[in-house]
Amino acid sequence: MPNQKGSFHIMAAAELKEPVVTLSAGPVAAYPRVLRAMSRPIPYDYDPYFQHFYEGVTKKAAKALKVKDPALILHVEPAAAIEAAAASLIGPNDTVLNLASGVYGKGFGYWSARYHKDMVEIEVPFNEAIDPASVAAAFKQRPDIKVVSLVHHDTPSGTINPAREIGKIVRDHGALLLVDAVSSFGGMDIHPADCEADIFITGPGKCLGGAPGISVIAVSDRAWAHMEANPKAPRASILSYLDWKDAWRHDKSFPFTPSVAEVNGFDAVLDQYLDEGPEKVWKRHALTARATRAGVLAMGLQLWAKTESIASPTTTAVRIPEGVTDSAIIDAARQIFGVVFSTGRNDTMGKLLRIGHMGLVAEPVYAVVAITALGGALRKLGRKVDVSAGINAALQVIEAA
């Protein structure tokens, strides 16, 4: 990500034992069946077995994404796939509307700057969401906007943007919409068609409970046409969308070596998601987040999100109270309970901590674990926190579900 700042606390070597529970905002603890799949033998990528298997995985991904075409897989982590989308999609004559409600949204603007002709940016405080009316107003002022970039869930803030409403406005104006759904797809009800996305980027390493090494992308026909017409779109590059466009077909070659073990893992990720049933998966993410928020509030702490309605069902960001640091809380939770939380990132670093509800740990019992570790850490640091009230509030939400 551009403009990295902030620092990480370094634990003493003696404290470096494996965590008991990882409640991070990604990468996350992977499902056992995913780990088993990743340890399968590595076939030669041009062995017909693997070529057919790969085609099957891209079709299974299309089923999960609810799109007609096999999904595009890029063999890089999602951050690189988003940067690559900027390079492939944004041509030298394009005006971009960048929507920034958090660190990832803001960061996309720096990537876009390398390729666009001009950029309009709507930036809101990083605990708020983008107002669709502001997007409509931007189009009114700048009818030349050709590409719009939106982060659905800006993870370092734990906030959700109204992708459906924004997508409709973008489509009405005939522009192309790029959606970063890396930390929301698989954990809540969002698909490319829901928000009329032309490029919809996600990956296995967040809500789907896999490893973070590859990216999974749905591309519309309009976006392919725009990339094909872009004279500056990268070619002969592992980051080229166009080079990888037909790689899903068993009778086509791979432009570069695919990450075979990651593809094995992704196949298991998709089975896990589709076998359990997406509705059930979204429901347990939402319930875990709701129970966690209730517990946080009952302990007298504040959510980072300005209103609870924009708080993410896959990550709960908690404001750091006055007089204590994020790293003191996180270290205490880790040392006493073996529970891992995430810090903020860049502009949210130091202001909040994040409790992830993604994949394997998007289970209500982990709301109780999170509240115990968070409240217990604060108590250890000498704060007056009613941990039992927090646990009780979380349990009430779970029992009422």
Alpha helix (H) ranges present in 26-77? Answer: 32-38, 48-65
Interatomic CA distance for residues 375 and 163, integer angstroms? 34
> Pick from 104, 200, 241, 337: which binds ligand PLP (CB under 6 A)?
104
Q: Interface with ligand PLP includes 107 (CB under 6 A)?
A: no
> Pick from 112, 127, 155, 314: which binds ligand PLP (CB under 6 A)?
155
By CB under 6 A, which span of 157-165, 178-186, 218-226, 252-260 interacts with ligand PLP? Answer: 178-186
By CB under 6 A, which span of 72-80, 111-119, 218-226, 329-337 interacts with ligand PLP? Answer: 72-80
Interatomic CA distance for residues 207 and 197, integer angstroms? 19
Q: Which of 85, 100, 169 is nearest to 130 (CA)?
A: 100
Q: How far is the CB of 103 from ligand PLP (least distance, A)?
A: 9
Q: How far is the CB of 304 from ligand PLP (least distance, A)?
A: 15
Q: How many CA atoms within 13 Å lie on the side-chain side of 294?
A: 21
> Pick from 180, 198, 243, 267: which binds ligand PLP (CB under 6 A)?
180
Read off φ and ψ for residue 395, nearest 5 degrees.
Answer: -65, -40
**Which amino acid, 192?**
P
Size of the site for ligand PLP (CB under 6 A): 17
Q: Interface with ligand PLP includes 126 (CB under 6 A)?
A: no
Q: How far is the CB of 27 from ligand PLP (least distance, A)?
A: 7
Q: How far is the CB of 279 from ligand PLP (least distance, A)?
A: 23
Whether residue 27 is preceded by a cis peptide bond, meaning omega within 30 degrees of 0, is: yes
By CB under 6 A, which span of 40-48, 153-161, 272-280, 345-353 interacts with ligand PLP? Answer: 153-161
- Tokens 């967040």: give the residue: 206
> Pick from 34, 61, 77, 304: which binds ligand PLP (CB under 6 A)?
77
Determine contact, residues 66/193, Cβ cutoff 8 Å.
yes
Q: Interface with ligand PLP includes 26 (CB under 6 A)?
A: yes
Cα angle: 2, vertex 193, 60; to 5 degrees = 85
Q: Which positions from 198 through 217 interact with ligand PLP, judged by CB under 6 A? A: 203, 205-206, 212
- Tokens 């590595």: give the residue: 42
Report the relative pairing of strands 21-22 and 339-340 from DSSP bridges: parallel
Read off φ and ψ for residue 329, nearest 5 degrees.
Answer: -65, -45
Smaller CB separation from ligand PLP, 50 or 266: 266
Determine contact, residues 339/9, Cβ cutoff 8 Å.
no
Smaller CB separation from ligand PLP, 180 or 262: 180
Interface with ligand PLP (CB under 6 A): 26, 77-79, 82, 104, 151, 153-155, 180, 182-183, 203, 205-206, 212
